[in-house]
Structures are given as structure tokens and as C-alpha cells.
């Protein structure tokens, strides 16, 4: 179902990353390190794979987003308070995995809301969904390896491995700029945002997580009750065109 790894150089980089990790490059955090765009922190690792999500500009009302963010902030505050208390007592601090759990729960709640199909859902229109799907595939194996992808009515997911000399940031900018411009032409819109400015990108730590992300991506249409089987959803790498 997912593309085979055919680039030995990329395979070697991935193996070295999983085996030993890499040190952040302070001179270029877009390749390796931590940077921010707007409100979200983005962690980059040279040679890493990523799970990325971006959504339409009207897909999530501001009041809903603020409510979900407040819940996450409350849990994060509690975690750091426990960490400080443990340090003062000289006892073991809470597991760092708890922070990752908070982040997973946060994005799961966002996903549940997105799957309700709020907003105009421009990506439900076949010509626009085709536009985005074709943009994903256009530079595959040239600038990145596209492990899994799906176009939903108001958001998209992809599991991507940037090839050497190509950064995730530039790839996402290229996708979003081109598709926003062309989609707005199809819709007869001018001067209006198509995508929400922020994207979510998650550095995939290991092969198990990679497989889980790929399963999540192709199963999203089934989970959202848009189709009965992953092979039925036309705008996904899992689609199997009827012969």
C-alpha cells in the first residue's frame, strides 16, 4: 500500500537517525532544531519523517480552538507544577511521556472536530480535491518520499520524508501556496485565505510510530464515515481505481 524505500542514501540517513539521533543545527533550525511559526513549536530533524496536517481557513471556529487550547494549557500547567514539586522534594519527576500524551490528546480532539466537516469544506469538491492530490504527488520521489496522504473535506494529512537538500518547511509552503492560488481561481475568490496559516508537523521517532501514522492517515475517511473501506476513498494513496 505504501511506497517502497528505493533511495539508499535516504535509507542510510533514516537508519542513522533512528540509531543515534542528530544534534540540532543552530544555523538552520528548518533542517534540524526547534523553531516557531505563529503559536506552534515545530521540531525538525535532518533526515526525519513527518506526519503533517493542514486545514482550511474556516474549518475550526476560533472559540472552539481556544477552548481546546485552554484544556491543553491546563494540563501542561499541572504537569510543570508536579515537576517543580518533585524537584523541590528530591523525588523522581513525572515522566516526559506525559507531555507527549497531552499533545496527542490535544490533536485528537482537534481531529474529532475537523471530521465533523465544519466550514465550507471546499475540498469536498472533486476538482479541488484532485488539485490538492496532484500537488502532493507532483514532486514525490524528487523532493520527498510520500508514504501516505489523504484529502479530507476540510483538511489534509500526509506522512512525508523530505529528500536531501529539501526541507519540510519549503515543501509545505509550495503545496499550500500553489493549491491556495489555483483553488481560489476555481472558486472565483480573490483576496481570501484558503488554508489556515499554521500547519501541524510531528517528527516521527521510530518505525512503529511511522506505521501507526500511515494507518491513521488512510483510515481517516472511514473513521469520518465518508466511505466504508480505505480503498474506496478517491483522494488517498490507498484508493484502488475500479478496473
Any idea what the CATH number is for the domain that residue 160 is in? Answer: 3.30.70.1290
Is residue 226 pLDDT above 90, yes or no?
yes
Structural domain includes residue 171? yes
Report how far apart, in Å, the C-alpha atoms of 101 and of each of 64, 105, 231 are: 21, 6, 30
Structural domain harbouring 140: 8-59+117-232
CB 120 within 8 A of CB 58: yes
Q: What is the pLDDT of residues 103-146, one digit of tens each?
A: 888 888 988 999 998 999 999 999 999 999 999 999 999 999 99
pLDDT band at 98 (very low <50, low <70, confident <90, very high): confident
pLDDT band at 45 (very low <50, low <70, confident <90, very high): low
pLDDT band at 243 (very low <50, low <70, confident <90, very high): low
Phi, psi (deg, nearest 5) at residue 22: -135, 160
The fraction of the chain above a pLDDT of 70, given in percent, is 80
Structural domain includes residue 209? yes
Structural domain includes residue 96? no
Q: What is the DSSP letter of 147?
A: E
Structural domain includes residue 3? no
Provide the grid cell at 147: 508514504
Is residue 10 pLDDT above 50, yes or no?
no
- The pLDDT of 65-90, averaged and rounded, is 90
Q: What is the pLDDT of residues 148-196, one digit of tens each?
A: 999 999 999 999 999 998 999 999 999 999 999 999 999 999 999 999 9
Structural domain includes residue 100? no
Structural domain includes residue 94? no
Global pTM reads 0.75
Please give the biggest Cα pair distance in the chain. Answer: 67
Three-state DSSP state, 150: strand
CB 106 within 8 A of CB 72: yes
Number of domains in the chain: 1
Structural domain includes residue 53? yes
Strands across the sheet containing 144-151: 144-151, 155-162, 49-55, 200-204
Spatial distance between the Cα atoms of 51 and 35, rounded to a whole number of angstroms: 17
Structural domain includes residue 78? no
Three-state DSSP state, 156: strand
Amino acid at each position: 500500500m505504501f511506497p517502497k524505500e528505493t533511495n539508499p542514501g535516504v535509507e542510510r540517513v533514516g537508519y542513522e537517525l533512528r540509531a543515534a539521533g542528530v544534534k540540532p543545527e543552530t544555523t538552520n533550525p528548518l533542517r534540524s532544531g526547534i523553531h516557531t511559526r505563529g503559536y506552534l513549536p515545530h521540531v525538525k530533524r535532518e533526515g526525519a519523517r513527518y506526519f503533517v496536517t493542514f486545514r482550511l481557513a474556516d474549518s475550526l471556529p476560533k472559540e472552539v480552538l481556544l477552548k481546546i487550547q485552554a484544556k491543553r494549557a491546563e494540563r501542561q500547567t499541572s504537569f510543570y507544577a508536579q515537576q517543580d514539586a518533585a524537584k523541590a522534594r528530591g523525588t523522581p519527576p513525572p515522566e516526559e511521556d506525559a507531555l507527549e500524551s497531552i499533545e496527542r490528546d490535544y490533536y485528537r480532539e482537534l481531529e474529532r472536530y475537523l471530521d465533523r466537516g465544519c466550514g465550507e469544506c471546499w475540498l469536498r469538491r472533486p476538482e479541488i480535491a484532485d488539485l490538492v492530490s496532484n500537488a502532493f504527488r507532483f514532486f514525490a520521489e524528487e523532493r520527498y518520499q510520500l508514504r501516505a496522504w489523504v484529502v479530507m473535506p476540510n483538511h489534509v494529512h500526509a506522512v512525508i520524508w523530505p529528500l536531501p537538500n529539501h526541507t519540510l518547511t519549503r515543501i509545505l509552503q509550495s503545496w499550500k501556496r500553489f493549491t491556495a492560488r489555483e483553488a481560489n481561481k476555481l472558486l472565483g475568490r480573490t483576496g481570501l485565505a484558503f488554508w489556515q496559516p499554521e500547519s501541524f508537523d510531528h517528527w516521527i521517532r521510530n518505525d512503529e510510530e511511522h506505521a501507526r501514522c500511515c494507518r491513521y492517515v488512510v483510515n481517516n475517511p472511514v473513521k469520518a464515515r465518508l466511505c466504508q473501506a480505505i480503498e474506496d476513498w478517491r483522494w488517498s494513496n490507498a484508493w484502488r481505481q475500479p478496473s
